[in-house]
Amino acid sequence: MTHTSEVLKPFMLGIDHVGIAVPDLEEAIRWHYDVLGLEVQHREQNAEQGVDEAMVGPSDAAPGGVLIQLLAPLTPESTIAGFLDRKGPGLQQLAYRVTDVTAASAALVEHGVRLLFAEPKRGTAGSRINFIHPKDAGGVLVELVEHTAK
């Protein structure tokens, strides 16, 4: 892998969200509300990714602000179920907002960075996503998120 400090710089908008794997989504939502005062900003099931998810944040969060993504498995075979089996509940990924996930992915591959998907997939709220392999990102699963117009 070629190391360069500016591969994603032309595409980077900032941190989008932090993903937390949880075994029980309702319990996690309740805890984040009761203890931290965070409210559900968006909720959906993504069958392709095998997750039931909720994006939570402050009620007065600015549009486009950083959120917490709570991820529970839809099936025992889902990636999140595997994560919970191996590591238990906790931080699962760090997501960065980019202007163009396809171009950002191509730039990374050109510099020898491994991605989990050959082509972007559908993410939360119709976004387009891809992931940098944790072995190429210091052990962290890094998600790239491009929000699409609604």
- Is there a domain that residue 24 lies in? yes
CATH number at residue 99: 3.10.180.10
- Is there a domain that residue 120 lies in? yes
Distance in angstroms between the alpha carbons of the first and the last residue of the chain: 36
Domain limits for position 16: 12-146
Whether the full predicted model's pTM is greater than 0.75, yes or no, is yes
- Is there a domain that residue 3 lies in? no
pLDDT for 64 equals 81
pLDDT for 61 equals 76
Phi, psi for residue 10 in degrees, rounded to 5: -65, -15
Q: How many domains does the chain have?
A: 1
Contact in structure between 58 and 80 (CB atoms under 8 Å): no
- Is there a domain that residue 129 lies in? yes
The mean pLDDT values, 10 residues at a time, for the chain of 150 residues are 72 96 98 97 94 94 88 96 97 97 96 96 95 95 89
Q: Which residue type, as a one-letter code, is found at position 39? A: E
Element (H, E) at 95: strand 90-98
- Is there a domain that residue 135 lies in? yes
- Is there a domain that residue 5 lies in? no
pLDDT for 4 equals 54
The single-letter DSSP state of residue 13 is: E
